[in-house]
Amino acid sequence: MSHEVFDYSTTLGSAHFPNPIFTASGCAANGKELSAFFPLTDIGAVVTKSVMTNPRSGRATPRMAETPSGMLNAIGLQGPGIDTFLREDLPWLVEHGARTVVSIAGESVDEFAALSRKVRNSPGVSALEVNISCPNVENRGLVFACDRASAREVIEGVKRSVGNSLPIIAKLSPDVTDIVAIAQEVVGAGADGLAMINTLLGMVINTETMRPQLANKTGGLSGPAIRPVAVRAIYQVHAALPNIPIVGMGGVLTGNDAFELVLAGASAISVGTATFNDPSAPVRIKNELAELLVARGFTRFSDAVGFAHRAQA
């Protein structure tokens, strides 16, 4: 085993991380709860739950349904609002040495811009995730990532606010006809990286009550059930934009699953739903992926990124 010479580091724009395993926004709260299971410094970064301007109660329950190899959720971005987040949650992460990607969500271009200005002025942030693809907003018309012009406007607004002070990572929805077109649009608007994929919109109907299971009726589908969709989306976008780093996510439960997304073109991997199943999953997956890469003869993680695109020797 030659872990000593294995370079596990990765880069997203100007941000460097000692390893590519991150939490996924919305699946790790704001870090405290997970720190009971492993030191947050062990993973590449904590991606915080998407925060909005004001406190949010989120949606009524039931908010969740288990589905085959996955789950449906409609939390509705419950959270403390940006000011409380920056006063309480972010400093806690910084104190504990966690590299932090702050995820923001807004209902308008102006809200995204204002949120990103506040995050820019806060110390200890590695990168900014711009969640333009939450499926659980009140109005499907507000899913900015489903419309090229809206996606562009949000990222342009954020770019004007933060300039080059923080890498901007646009989080994309797979619920579009052409994800490559959306990716090109946000990169053209100034995104330094892409996070993909957010959940897919789904529904479960309870056959006892004969009504939708979730109070919100629809919810976001996550877990291994959606992994092939993630692999496809990452592969397509990496092929079109090979120099844009992708934070890949979608049903990663094991190091081998993470490897699949890396081969498709992901420069970092977010572990989401797996953490509900196994709160130690991020660190376990980090170790499993390293073993796998070393076993395959890689000396640098970055050499494996997008490897599936290479012609057969």
Partner 1 sequence: MSATINSPIQSDCEVISNRRVGAYQHLTLAAPGISERVRPGNFVAISVGDSRSSMLLRRSFAIYQSTSRGPFGGTIEIIVAPHGAGSTWISQRAPHDRLNVVGPLGNAFKIPKDPVRALLVGGGYGSAPLFPLAEILRQKNSRVEMAVGASTAERIFAPVEGKRSVHSLAIATEDGSIGVAGRVTDLFDNSLSNIDIVYACGPMGMLKALTAIGERAGVTVACAVEESMACGVGLCMTCVLPVKDKTGVIKMVRSCVEGPIFDGDAVQWDGIGTIPPGTYGAPR
Kindly report the three-state secondary structure assignment for every residue of 99-139: CEEEEECCCCHHHHHHHHHHHHCCCCEEEEEEECCCCCCCC
- Binder to partner 1 among 273, 289, 293, 306 (CB under 8 A)? 273
Decide whether 190 or 223 has the Cβ nearer to partner 1: 223
**Residue 274 interacting with partner 1 (CB under 8 A):** yes
Chain positions 136 to 165 lying near partner 1, rule: CB under 8 A, are: 138
Question: Least CB distance from residue 118 to partner 1, whole Å?
Answer: 18
Query: What is the Cα–Cα distance from 117 to 47, expressed in whole angstroms?
Result: 18
Question: Least CB distance from residue 214 to partner 1, whole Å?
Answer: 10
Task: Supply 196's token pair.
Answer: 């993909």
**Residue 172 interacting with partner 1 (CB under 8 A):** no
Decide whether 93 or 170 has the Cβ nearer to partner 1: 93
Question: Least CB distance from residue 58 to partner 1, whole Å?
Answer: 6
Decide whether 62 or 91 has the Cβ nearer to partner 1: 62
27 is catalytic: no
Chain positions 244 to 263 lying near partner 1, rule: CB under 8 A, are: 253-254
Query: What is the Cα–Cα distance from 107 to 144, expressed in whole angstroms?
Result: 9
**Residue 92 interacting with partner 1 (CB under 8 A):** no
Residues 6+ apart with CB under 8 A from 34: 23, 28, 40, 46, 275, 279, 282
**Residue 122 interacting with partner 1 (CB under 8 A):** no
Chain positions 65 to 84 lying near partner 1, rule: CB under 8 A, are: 66, 68-71, 73, 75, 78-79, 81
**Residue 41 interacting with partner 1 (CB under 8 A):** no
* 186 touches 159 (CB < 8 A): no
- Binder to partner 1 among 6, 11, 18, 37 (CB under 8 A)? 37
**Residue 236 interacting with partner 1 (CB under 8 A):** no
**Residue 206 interacting with partner 1 (CB under 8 A):** no
Question: Least CB distance from residue 224 to partner 1, whole Å?
Answer: 8
**Residue 55 interacting with partner 1 (CB under 8 A):** yes
**Residue 133 interacting with partner 1 (CB under 8 A):** no
**Residue 280 interacting with partner 1 (CB under 8 A):** yes
Give the interface segment with partner 1, choosing from 62-70, 89-97, 170-178, 201-209 (CB under 8 A). 62-70
Give the interface segment with partner 1, choosing from 48-56, 180-188, 190-198, 299-307 (CB under 8 A). 48-56
**Residue 108 interacting with partner 1 (CB under 8 A):** no
Name the catalytic one among 46, 104, 115, 134: 134
The DSSP annotation for the chain comes to: --GGG-B--EEETTEEESSSEEE-TTSSTTSTTGGGTS-GGGSSBEEPPPB-SS-B--PPSP-EEEETTEEEE-----B--HHHIIIIIHHHHHHTT--EEEEE--SSHHHHHHHHHHHHTSTTEEEEEEE---TTSS-GGG-GGGSHHHHHHHHHHHHHHHTTSS-EEEE--S-SS-HHHHHHHHHHTT-SEEEE--PEEEE-EETTTTEESSTTSEEEEESGGGHHHHHHHHHHHHHH-TTS-EEE-SS--SHHHHHHHHHHT-SEEEE-THHHH-TTHHHHHHHHHHHHHHHTT-SBGGGGTTGGGSPP-
Contacts to partner 1 by CB under 8 A: 26-29, 32-34, 36-37, 49, 54-64, 66, 68-71, 73, 75, 78-79, 81, 138, 215, 223-224, 253-254, 273-280
Residues with catalytic function: 134
